Structure 1
Amino acid sequence: MDLLRCLLINCPWLLMAWAESHSLNYYGTAISNPIGFPQFSFKVYIDDVMLASYDDDTQIFQSRLKGPVNAEYWIDQTSDSQHFIWLQKQKINYVNSLLNLTNGEYLYQQKRGCTVDDDGNIAGYLEFAHEGKEFLKFDKEKMLYIPMIFYAEPITQYYNTQTADSFFDKNYLEIQCPKMLHSYLKYASYELDKKVHPEVKVWGYLQSDGLTRLHCMVYGFYPRPVEVKWVRNGEDDVPSDEMSPILPHPDGTYQIRVSVEVPTREGDAYSCHVDHSSLKEILIVNWEPGKKERRQYIGMAVAVLFILSGFGISIYRFRLQNMGEV
């Protein structure tokens, strides 16, 4: 939906120019037999900053921001969230019956949100997953729920008879979500504007085939965008043959590892170059061959496994308050 259309249906909050693109996303999970996880939970993100969370263990809508927060607002959200979870339980029972899940086992995930770009254009999306597979999605232009897998057809047939839900979801994606995004930005501005410079570790080890494997671990940086590359003799870029995704740390920062395989030759010098918005200039860390490299490599590998294990705990995400029923 564009800015003109929104103005015609009274969206005064969009009169303010958007300096850049921002997104509001709700991620959530409902799981039948949680082990170390709440049965129902959701998290709210502005861009890549977690704004708040709720689960049926704590039954409290919790702000995760370090900046100024309106405490009364979050108390109101707790009440709304408790009602939302109750709706989820009712709806999931019905969905399970349609899917003939007699054993009661399930894992549902949902992503609902919107993005507003710097021209005021709005993109909204509503997607569901079941047992880790794409299940169904909502087409807000056609106002239809679309099955993404064959056994989702009974559910979408039912959803498509609920015209009130279709109108609600369309209104949420095009009006309510962008409005909430605009409102939430003032709470998230502290986190969105912060910058944390990266830490860098480089190491390598000699392989039996006359090649050397080099690794560059960049971690603890914020915001997420970063450019990392290996350079030979200060001039030649070395194409990476292995680059990890940019992964989140539990503390809200990010990490990435970039690896290359190079010929083992005397006279060649290698360095890892990191470009990030927190830096005044490109950060260059030289690789210095030494006897302790193998030990360093093993230590870093253990550290990476520890980081990833912590990251794995946070893979479940869910939605929030007035998003309507699943």
Structure 2
Amino acid sequence: MLDDIVIGHYNADERSFIPVTVQESVNVTEQITISTVFKGIHEDMKTKAYYLIDYLNYTRGLHVQQRLVGCELLRDEPGRMMTLEAFNGESGFERRYNVQGDQHTDWKWPVIKSRAQLEYDAWLYAHFYRPLCISQLRTYLKKEQKRVMAKVKPRVRVIKRYCREAGVVQMTCLATGFYPRHINLTLLQDGQPVNEERITGGELLPNPDGTYQMRKSVELGAEEQRERHTYTCTVTHLSLDNKLDISIEPGPDPVIVVPSVLLLLCVFGFLAAFKIWRKRYSQPEQVHIHSLFH
């Protein structure tokens, strides 16, 4: 993936890297190299998975091993590279290679390789995997620059729901349709961020068109509603020149109450109007009929 754009996938049956889009000119040597790297990663993950099943005393069945490898460019200069691994949802290995060339490795699982193998892995990581990752990042960044650099402003709206039984008002701030994915959505009370323990939501979710959405909600009890605090939904995003602030009225929506006397007058007025209408449209017919008999 390039940021959040899928570039391709590894087909384990064919043992080859399959790009998402058909490229006009394919560097065969480069594709073979990438496929070889993926093959090595796949085989290594399978070996480690079988070892961890036995070491952690898991029964045979469905297990999940994950490996995340990534590198970054900072203003076209090589940045960090990292590898994170987890098995059945529990992290067990981490390796980071920073800009200065320092390498940090953290093992939570037992080391199953010899010292010579570990030293070779560290050398391979620094002198082969990292340069290859950076070169591929530059290549795809050039090809997909328009998509990666696109900026779409978020559409922000406030949703307010009142639960009459509990006397609670739920205020929700929704930002949707934005790209890239990085956004800062904050609910403020009297200019200060609402305690995160009171916030529900906040997950970044994808939209079908490739954009993203996020919503955050907070519930206000009857006492907080009476105190008349000021609430604000504030949004910052790369597509916005300035932060976007939307004020929220904490109270429930106004309810129109009709006095009982006025309601009775309306009922009587309707009945009187109905009688007049009935008399007007029924009487002329009787008169007309009698006139015919005369």
TM-score, length of structure 2 as denominator length? 0.62
What is the CA–CA distance in structure 2 between the aligned matches of 1:143 and 1:231, rounded to whole Å? 41
Match status 1:147 vs 2:104: no
Asked if 2 retains the 8 angstrom alpha-carbon contact of 1:143 and 1:167, the reply is no
Match of 2:219, as an amino acid?
Answer: E
Asked if 1 retains the 8 angstrom alpha-carbon contact of 2:67 and 2:84, the reply is yes
1:229-308 mapped onto 2 (5 Å cutoff): 229-230=186-187, 236=191, 239=194, 241-242=198-199, 244-262=202-220, 263-265=224-226, 272-279=233-240, 282-283=243-244, 290=253
Bigger CA radius of gyration: 2
Asked if 2 retains the 8 angstrom alpha-carbon contact of 1:110 and 1:128, the reply is yes
Asked if 1 retains the 8 angstrom alpha-carbon contact of 2:168 and 2:219, the reply is yes
SS of residue matched to 1:170: helix
Query: 1:222 offset after TM fit, Å?
Result: 0.7
C-alpha deviations, 1:231-275, integer Å up to 9, x for none?
Answer: 67xx84563631513343354322211223343349877553433
Match status 1:108 vs 2:65: yes
Q: CA RMSD in A?
A: 4.0
Q: 2:134 aligns with which of 174, 178, 193?
A: 178
What is the CA–CA distance in structure 2 between the aligned matches of 1:165 and 1:267, rounded to whole Å? 62
Higher RCO structure (Cα 8 Å, ≥6 apart): 1
> Identity of paired residues, percent?
22
What is the CA–CA distance in structure 2 between the aligned matches of 1:256 and 1:74, rounded to whole Å? 40
1:154-169 mapped onto 2 (5 Å cutoff): 154-155=111-112, 157-158=113-114, 161=117, 163-169=119-125
What is the CA–CA distance in structure 1 between the aligned matches of 2:140 and 2:225, rounded to whole Å? 53
What is the CA–CA distance in structure 1 between the aligned matches of 2:48 and 2:5, rounded to whole Å? 29
C-alpha deviations, 1:181-240, integer Å up to 9, x for none?
Answer: 2232212311122111222332222355654220111112112233334467xx845636
C-alpha deviations, 1:53-84, integer Å up to 9, x for none?
Answer: 214379662336xxxx8433387766555544
Q: Structure 2, unaligned stretches of length 5 or more?
A: 256-294
Q: Given the superposition, is the C-alpha separation of residues 272 and 88 from structure 1 closer, same or farther in structure 2, using an over 3 Å criterion? A: closer
Asked if 1 retains the 8 angstrom alpha-carbon contact of 2:78 and 2:134, the reply is no
Q: Given the superposition, is the C-alpha separation of residues 166 and 81 from structure 1 closer, same or farther in structure 2, using an over 3 Å criterion? A: same
C-alpha deviations, 1:267-305, integer Å up to 9, x for none?
Answer: 87755343333345655556575489xxxxxxxxxxxxx
SS of residue matched to 1:49: coil
Q: Structure 1, unaligned stretches of length 5 or more?
A: 1-43, 293-326
Match status 1:72 vs 2:28: no
Match status 1:54 vs 2:54: no
